[in-house]
Structure formats: C-alpha cells, structure tokens
Amino acid sequence: MLSVEEARERILSHITTLSAEDIPLTGALGRILARDAVAGEPLPSFANTAMDGYAVRSVDTLGASPTSPVRLRLAGEVPAGRVYAGRVGAGEAVRILTGAAIPDGADAVLEQERTEVADGIVSLLAEAPAGTNIRPVGDDVRVGDLLAPQGTELGPAEIALLAALGVHPVPVTRRPRVAILSTGDELAPLGEHPGPGQIRESNAPYLAAAVARAGAEPVLLGIARDRTEEIRAKLQQAASADLVLSSGGVSVGDYDLVKQILSEQGSIDFWRVRMRPGKPLAFGLLGATPLLGLPGNPVSAAVTFELFGRPAIRKMLGCRQIERPTVEVVYEGEDIERAERRQFVRTRLTSRGGTLVSGTTGAQGSHIISSLRGATALLIVMEGEGVIRTGDHAQALLLNDAMPWGNE
C-alpha cells in the first residue's frame, strides 16, 4: 500500500502547468497570475495632495500661528484631475483639492482647517514644513517593484493594485477543463427519480462544485453503467480535457472495467493508499490526459479529491501553494483509535481563547454525506497505535481558504 505522500507525488509528477492567456482585469477574480506582475510606473505617478487646502512655499509659512497668521495672496485653484498652469511664487497660495498635482514652486500643503480666507487673502494659522500633506511620487510603489508574484491567486486587493498600475489585460493561467464521470448501475442522475435499488448520485455534483472552487472548469460527462462500452464511450468525450475525474468502479470487483479501458488507451496504476476514507484509488493516463479514479463512496470521493485532485488542479494552474495549509488544533470528541491507515476526520474548527479546537461533524462512515456539511478541516489522525482523545494536539488540513473558524 502506498502512503498518502507517495500517491500524491506520483500523481503530481504527471501534472504540468497550463499555458497563459490574457484576460480583462475585471474578470480576473480567483484566477492565477501566469507571470510576475512588475510595476512599470511609480504610484503615485505624480506628487499630489492628501488634503484639501492651500499649496504654498514652506519658507513662506515660517512663524505662522493662530495669534500671528501669515497672509498670502490667493493666486488660483487646482482641483483633482487638473494641472495648475502657473508657478506658486513668493507670497502666494493656490487652493488645492485632494488628489490634485502639487503645483510647481509649492513644496507643502496647509490643510484648509488651519486657514482663513477673505478678500483674496489666505491667512495661515500654522507652519507647513516642506512635504506637509504631500504624497510623493512612488510613495506606494516604485518602478520595478514586484506587485504580485507568478502563481498568486488574484483577490480584490491584488486586482486593485494591478488596476492602479495599469496591468490590464492580465496574464493568467488557462482554467483547466476537468471532465467528471460517475460510474455505477445504481446511479440515477439529478432530476430523475431513482428506480428500485437505485440511488440519487451526488459525486458529480460534489466534484463539479469542488472543481469550480479549485479554479477549474467542470465538464460533466454524466453517468456510465458498469459496462466497458459505456465507460469507454463516455471517456472518449473527455479527450480534450486537462484532467479526468471518475468516481466508483475502482473497488476490487469493478477495477477490471476501468483498468481494461485505460490499458487500451493509455496506462493505469491501481493503488491502495494507506488512508481512511478512500483506500482504493486509480491513477492513469488516458492518451496524454491524467485520470484520477476516485472511490464511489461520497465521503471517500470528497476526501480523495481534496487530497489528490485539488492539488493536481492547483499545480496545473501554477499556484504558488498547491496544498491547503495545515494548522495545529486541539482535538475534542470521542476517542479515535489510531490505525495502520491515516485517518481524515471531518471536523469543524472553533477558535477558543486563542486555540483552535477541532470537533467532529458526527458519524464518520464513508457513506455519511452529512459528515461533510459544516466541515472546515480534516483532522489528521496519523498512522500508529493508541488513541487520540480530547485535549490531544493534532494537525488539521483546512478545507477553506478564508477564515475557517467561527468565534466563540
């Protein structure tokens, strides 16, 4: 049996990063930057005022105070979006509004709250040393600064920064097309009433959602009965996919079906991985397309997708970090016996007094779909002996990128 790490390494060794495409920045949320984004200009690109007030020469303000105001001639006005045509001369002040370029000659802005104006004369009630209220060129970003490295997932903050520097369109990796196939005579598709002995299938809906959340484009192939011709026909539709995910048909009895097709059209490795849930796992190449054969049990399919499928997609996307983070948690719940296989327990993390407490989401059978609901992490019960009990420390693999715990 392979370890989780060995299985993951073997899968990832067949995965390469996809090509880049240029897209509008406004559509780039969640996309992965394909190249370093570097500033080609400074930000701000011109010195401008942080306040509404008066642009002045700092030397002219020396000694100004409420009791002995300095009086300057109001020479003009410059709102944001305009450039003052003249120069601020000795004894002059120019009215200036937030964001407007500092006029030539001026080296300070006194905010309007510290001034009084009457009859074309501005009285300064305070000194304004050089640089006061001025946002200098490059204060935020300098030319050549790295705005975001290749492999960054673009969020609102990155999008704002790239917009401010004119990085548009933006080069991102192409979204992987991930074909999803469910196998099993017992499966009824969404919208159809299950016949006697049939079940409503849930793996494809789960995987489509999880694939989309991982940043890829799901392509639904539907359900193949447990017959070689049907599986073969469905898989033919997956030829243009970047990755194929199948579920079911990898347990001992079914294995020959998938194996037969893949050995005709590529290659297959069938593994038993030392983990629970999710022991049986197939990996192969369909032509040149990697295929990950997940177990049919819904919880096993979900957990193996998280451990092997999602990192594969994130590697295709060229993400800086292809694995989700693990955090140290304190376990709370019934004793869990360690075993030869590593266990991944669906758990909900709660922040309590600075500690992340991990409580299970209920019964953990691989058919208990409701154990996935509300899970924010997978508690990792390492291989070994003895039990893990309330108060023990353990690692947990986060299932969400955003704040994965609630407050108490």
Contact of 169 with 24, CB cutoff 8 Å = yes
Minimum CB separation of residue 340 from ligand AMP in Å reads 21
- Select the binding partner of residue 360 from ligand AMP, Mg ion, none (C-beta < 5 to 8 A, by kind): none
User: Contact between 309 and ligand AMP (CB under 6 A)?
Assistant: no
Q: Does 199 bind ligand AMP (CB under 6 A)?
A: yes
**Minimum CB–partner distance for residue 212 and ligand AMP (Å):** 17
The residues facing 295 across adjacent strands are none
The site string for ligand AMP over 158-187 (x = CB under 6 A, - otherwise) reads ------------------------x-x-xx
Least distance between ligand AMP and beta carbon 295 (Å): 5
Strand partners for 359: 332, 348
Interaction between residue 249 and ligand AMP (CB under 6 A) = yes
- Angstrom distance (rounded) from CA 408 to CA 396: 19
Closer to ligand AMP by Cβ: residue 3 or 202: 202
Q: Which of residues 97-116 bind ligand AMP (CB under 6 A)?
A: none
Cβ atoms within 10 Å of 363's Cβ, excluding its own? 10
Q: Which does 303 bind (CB under 5 to 8 A by kind): Mg ion, ligand AMP, none?
A: none
Tell the smallest beta-carbon distance from residue 246 to Mg ion (Å): 10
CB atoms within 10 A of CB 212: 14
Number of chain residues interacting with Mg ion (CB under 5 A) = 3
What is the closest distance, in whole angstroms, from the C-beta atom of residue 226 to Mg ion in the complex?
6
**Which is closer to ligand AMP, CB of 94 or CB of 258?**
258
By beta-carbon proximity to ligand AMP, the closer residue of 42 and 298 is: 298
- Minimum CB separation from Mg ion for residue 401, in Å? 32
Q: Judged by CB under 6 A, which of 103, 171, 176, 296 binds ligand AMP?
A: 296
Q: Do 378 and 364 meet the contact criterion of CB atoms below 8 Å apart?
A: no
Nearer to Mg ion, 18 or 292 (CB): 292
Residue 218 contact among ligand AMP, Mg ion, none, beta carbon within 5 to 8 Å by kind: none
- Shortest distance, CB of residue 186 to Mg ion, whole angstroms? 7
298: contact with Mg ion by CB under 5 A:
no
Site for Mg ion contains 184 (CB under 5 A): yes
- Residue 248 engages Mg ion in binding (rule: CB under 5 A): yes
Q: Which residues here bind ligand AMP, judged by CB under 6 A?
A: 182, 184, 186-187, 199, 201-204, 247-251, 254, 295-298
Residues interacting with Mg ion, by CB under 5 A? 184, 248, 296
